[in-house]
């Protein structure tokens, strides 16, 4: 057990450090191409901070732990919105641009509802997984094209940074190095988490929704806080929205392509539904703050407190449910 705990801690450290190096290198590469901060948040940073979820879920699927793979994706989305944005807003209020309210939020809704329809029969077949990956490709193409068009119409959106200050070879090195650390950290984390789940007789879905989800959301938390503190709220919001799309389409898609997955009813109807409700609440907060003549919405400290409160209550509920009645958790998701 002691070694398993060390693996979990070591895996989380590896994921956090690897994601930081990956995002740093990838962001420098993106900046050299003169793209907007929002576009960087929706693509490079979102992909980089979602890399832990992708690798953990792929590793879990290959090792026969579907609960960790799916619980990680859905749990990370809940953590991104309630924990990451809640904590960020509590420290510094976030201004949300009207473009985000008009474009990115609706796209996130479409993706969430589309994936819900695909997963409604509690199965992730390879065909469904491929559809998700195709959806991800469409999303990527759209945001790149739309981002370049928006930046062309408003050059002020382009981050002004001297390209001479960016070492392109170093950026490539850190991107590759960070990805390698992510792969190692993901495998170590899954091994440790699986052993803990087996030892306590709880489902791997609960482990995926709690320890693994929070751990793989640490890069999103770090990136969002850094963006907010640097006066770039679009980076923080774009990172979370982009990461949530990646988590659903890429994380589940990659895991399902490697190995067909079965979803527990609790994971689908309790956790996925909560994810939809929190997304609606988040959108309502921003939309309400942008009413009238305002062109921007905002997440203030009150909203942050509410989001964090919801997340704490959610974690307490699923842990108590798993401890009180472990036998009701879908045996299809329990590690054999």
pLDDT digits (tens, 9 = 90+) for 153-211: 655 544 444 455 667 778 778 777 877 776 677 667 767 776 776 677 777 778 778 87
The values of phi and psi at residue 166, to 5°, are: -100, 120
List alpha helices for 122-207, DSSP H. 126-153, 168-200, 204-207
pLDDT band for 14, please (50, 70, 90 cuts).
Answer: confident
pLDDT at 296 over 60: no
- What mean pLDDT is reported for the chain? 76
Residue whose tokens read 């980076």: 235
pLDDT at 5 over 60: yes
Rounded Cα gap, residues 312 and 256, in angstroms: 30
Reported as type and span, the H/E element at residue 313 is helix 301-324
CA distance to 72, 241, 323, per residue, from 84 (Å): 15, 11, 26
Per the CB < 8 A criterion, the answer to whether 276 and 77 are in contact is: no
From its phi and psi, is residue 298 left (phi > 0), alpha (psi between -120 and 50) or beta?
beta
Complete domains list, the chain, with CATH? 2-156+169-333 (1.20.1420.30)
Dihedral sign, Cα of residue 172, residue 175, residue 177, residue 183: negative
Per the CB < 8 A criterion, the answer to whether 185 and 12 are in contact is: yes
Grouping H, G, I as helix, E, B as strand and the rest as coil, residue 241 is helix
Grouping H, G, I as helix, E, B as strand and the rest as coil, residue 53 is helix
Q: What is the DSSP letter of 210?
A: I
pLDDT digits (tens, 9 = 90+) for 103-150: 778 888 899 999 999 998 988 899 999 999 999 889 888 877 776 676
Going by C-alpha positions, the residue among 173, 176, 182 that lies closest to residue 52 is 182
Q: What global pTM score does this model have?
A: 0.75
Listing DSSP states for 66-135 in one string gives HHHHHHHHHHHHHIIIIIIHHHHHHHS-EEEEHHIIIIIHHHHHHHHHHHHHHTTTSEE-HHHHHHHHHH
What value does the mean pLDDT take over residues 198-225? Answer: 74
SS3 content of the chain, % helix, strand, coil (to 5): 80, 5, 15
| Percent residues over pLDDT 90 in the chain | 13
Per the CB < 8 A criterion, the answer to whether 136 and 245 are in contact is: yes
pLDDT digits (tens, 9 = 90+) for 43-81: 666 666 667 777 777 777 777 777 777 888 898 899 989
Residue whose tokens read 């832990």: 52
pLDDT band for 267, please (50, 70, 90 cuts).
Answer: confident
Strand pairing class (94-97; 296-299): antiparallel
pLDDT at 230 over 60: yes
């Amino acid at each position: 057990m002691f070694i398993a705990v060390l693996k979990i801690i070591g895996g989380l450290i590896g994921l956090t450090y690897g994601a930081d190096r990956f995002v740093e290198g990838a962001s420098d590469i993106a900046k050299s191409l003169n793209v907007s901060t929002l576009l960087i948040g929706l693509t490079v940073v979102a992909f980089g901070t979602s890399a832990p979820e992708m690798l953990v879920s792929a590793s879990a699927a290959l090792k026969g732990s579907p609960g960790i793979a799916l619980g990680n994706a859905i749990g990370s989305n809940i953590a991104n919105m309630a924990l990451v944005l809640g904590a960020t807003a509590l420290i510094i209020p976030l201004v949300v641009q009207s473009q985000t309210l008009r474009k990115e939020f609706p796209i996130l809704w479409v993706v969430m509802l589309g994936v819900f329809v695909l997963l409604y029969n509690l199965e992730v077949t390879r065909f469904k997984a491929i559809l998700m990956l195709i959806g991800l490709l469409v999303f990527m193409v759209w945001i790149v094209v739309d981002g370049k068009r928006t930046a062309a119409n408003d050059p002020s959106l382009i981050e002004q940074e001297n390209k001479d200050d960016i070492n392109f070879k170093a950026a490539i090195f850190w991107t590759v190095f960070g990805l390698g650390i992510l792969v190692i950290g993901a495998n170590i984390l899954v091994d440790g988490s699986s052993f803990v789940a087996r030892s306590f007789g709880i489902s791997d879905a609960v482990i995926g929704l709690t320890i693994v989800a929070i751990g793989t959301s640490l890069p999103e938390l770090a990136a969002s806080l850094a963006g907010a503190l640097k006066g770039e709220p679009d980076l923080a919001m774009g990172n979370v929205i982009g990461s949530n799309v990646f988590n659903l389409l890429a994380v589940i898609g990659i895991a399902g392509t490697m190995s067909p997955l079965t979803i527990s009813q609790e994971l689908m109807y309790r956790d996925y539904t909560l994810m939809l409700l929190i997304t609606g609440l988040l959108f309502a907060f921003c939309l309400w703050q942008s009413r009238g003549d305002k062109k921007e919405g905002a997440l203030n400290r009150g909203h942050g407190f509410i989001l964090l409160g919801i997340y704490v209550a959610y974690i307490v509920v699923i842990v108590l449910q798993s401890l009180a009645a472990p036998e009701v958790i879908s045996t299809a998701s329990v590690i054999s």
